[in-house]
Structure 1
């Protein structure tokens, strides 16, 4: 019945299933579950003049994304720590992302440049912050256990060669629609001085906007250090016992990364520190030390006034946000000995022993100096005086020297 009908087609996709001809059988990848961690335990395929000249497909999926429903996917980046055991031997042949239905979009293989032979823990990048790989994406497709990557490589050498992948990660860049209540006086979070930034939520079921803290100045961390953990301390308070975390994320270049560390307990009605992460918790962020040292690295925090709460409003207030980075040096670091000897000038020294095989000391952390300044005094300056010596000339220099507050190093080196 009727006089018209609309017929609408969004997209038509096709997948071909085939069996390679006998002359095109490919070499298998081994140890493929090792690509989840950068630890020099590699996935690899062995190729030579007596094997086929291509690897089989390396298919990796189930990356554990949890992108918010409704978020707009802006770009996808694949990062690969890879190497070949012989120069001018291995190149990408095909590299695709995959959805539930299989490979999709553009082939991002670099078919020009050979894999390098240096195990330097540096990632090769494919795609980027605004690159959708020639197709469209939804949050559900990224969150699917089937989302991942397909890769195979080609052999061009004359001697036996392994193509090796130590670590492969995918970064998804997205924009989330978020209409929370703004924070007033947001610049107050840089100091724990009792001056608060406040979000006034007057709707049950409402939530705050993101409160972003960046520019923590981790420039003193060595470039070749390994990230072990990230700890965030937030001193916060609510006017009623109905304020809760809505989200706590790390932020890198204005993009939230890694796990949501929000906690269930409500914000207390007296100011208290809440700790997120810890010495061995990287928040599954995939961040490198260079990301941590960027002034655009930080943390995003949002609070909520849940549905079912009594009353008609809640104040959420944050005094200070502090962050501590735990890392391991690429070279062994030596511990200081007799650290309690620095309190008296008596030639009974605190010391650390260094040599060509151990070129750095651990941090010497000294606290509890027993100050009793009058309340309300204005601090004009701080001077550190050190009676120090080395047992060999032209051997020892300061590397980093900071003052510290309750939870972290602070100020200038």
Structure 2
């Protein structure tokens, strides 16, 4: 069971002068691909040949053939203030039909930097035509290569790279691309390239070669002796067809033609067992030929070894008594996933059984049933009820039987999601024969409970059952590997590597292990003497190479061996990690006369030019000066005018530094003005209703505004590669603009634009209220927005509404977003308040929360990557005291920084703290105070012994690591708190009714 503790939400309202502190400091790129209207595209396609060629630089590429496909095997060049030769890739077999006009070429390079902290950058990316390097230079010389695999895009669907390209040019085996890379500093580093692909966009001529619109599909059972059949797929332009079957490995990769397998059907042989197959269909007409591949089959099993039914829907669904009191409405709507649900309305109550039978499962006669898997697509809908499973059991011959499988500790989600119960080896505590599972009375029941009194609907969209079985067939067989073994562990000397067996059929009774030492490309592997356990500690002899493990599975019939993939290259044992900051400078960069109160300090980098930006909200008033009456009303009853400085002259201010934080100039984004600019109301919104201008019973009369400044939170802002700014705005603060929902939203400012975009809501205001306090870019290019969520429609939350931690993720630069955070069963989440995350090398996130836990200390958690999201686990106390909004920073030196404010609550040391990457990944809370040597000012530093100091930021810090010189620049503001406005209770809403 997981628990979420909530605390009353307080808006972030710090006030004082903006200040920048330089502690000691990186950049990101994502490039998009546009396809011209009316055009077709072939690719991305992999090359047939790769070679290291001279003509630039001095460092040759090792094992260039490793750049032919994406497989985590790399070609590499060792660089130390040096430049590589060209990596030349050709033979892309691009399917551009005869007579077509080439519109553009896009090149994708999957690459990374590995080793110490070198600064790798492109030096050349060009095309190859007729075997000769040609065209304009496309190298991105300003962007450092990342330290984990990422794909950089060059060119576009309309880019001819400064040369002429014909159909004959791009379909030639001599067409391709070259790249070269340089290291700008003296730290030895490997440039690694995993794969290069090319796509060509073209306009077909009147007579065009066939174009595939629906891929071929393979039907049949993936079992030795069975026949597979391929369809042709769907093609344009009236082709004829030829076929080629390919045999792939167990992961569906490394596919190769099967000699003589050129018919539309194929009989699976013993050599296919343990792998997968696919078909390739070539369609030909008078204008040319094109080839399309099917998806790969399931792993081929041995003759008679068994199989599984496909997930199958029920034929009969009813609401049945035997538990609970609430009947299901429309039970038949749980048959197919079509967003039409069977539902039960629950408020502190439990449903009857939803009974699903008559699945029509195709289990062959004589088969032995080995397991049952049930998948339930369900959701909660309505107010903030807490729906949970009450019962999930099997039905045999119409009677409920077996063990309980309900996940009573897991709350049902508020959007459709599939929960899986049982497994391929789970018989649910009963006996099951072939006759049992094919009987029309076989099935499953489920019931759900609402553990609180808020009314909510339990909705079920679909339920499927899968039965796994074995058959007598050709008699007992040795184990068959269906999912390869894997290795986990840090690829360092002295680190433990652990083998996972993989997945096998044939019920192995034992497993044996043999570790292998391979070269740096993962080849030439030899057994390591004595390494026969499931774990192995990497030694000095392994440094520079990779490791594999072979797992041998044995049953009564025999043994079978399968090999894992290779680890990353094993590196030397890291020195005990310790970090020291060599300098500290503090400077006040903004102290505008007559406007001493500022807050919401933000900071970001423009990826295009590396300039650093800061912004803040500024009031022209002074504390105690008396705010207009409408401000009182807008912020809620009890928020007194003499305790706040905000008024209608509140503005946004921006400053930019183009010299790594040394100097700053006032400038509005995209204005091109570099001198002092007092900005007007930024993004002012006009009230859509002013009738009465009341809030919580207070009337403001003639002081009602017609326009006022956007309550913008610069802390949640980021600039995209194309120059677009994204910012978060809090719609709850708009008391009188009823056209804006009372929840957070994003706005965008495109390059050259003079107005911010319309609001973009990340969650439906009809269902949720939410806040966003940080927007960050991940190393895989995705954006995450961090904040908190209330399961209440916008404008309706009150003090008692439970809050939840929120991470939204976007894979398309903020165009669309989805929720991406769950809490592990048994984990008690920290109180919901201000928090921040930093990304680890594994893709996991470390989080720190402002609100203190049971020990009176702020808490932290490890968010483990799971699919496209994360699962919160490993919650623990930190060693530092209370501070304003936590600020975490992943540094290029391999440390995770926590940048604290000047608070010293409870006598805890003030300062900046760090964890090593390894500590953070392990969930450690053993943070170390970062020592500063010889700071130029000790205003914000405390002596730590000897010549070292502990230095801290001011209120609500934001930080970046400058890609130009590596310094960490922290922006914060001075001063304390004004009083907070009250959070609405059950009798006062956030805004007046329309």
Provide the TM-score with structure 1 as the length reference.
Answer: 0.45
Query: Which has a greater percent of strand?
Result: 2
Higher relative contact order (CA 8 A, sep 6+): 1
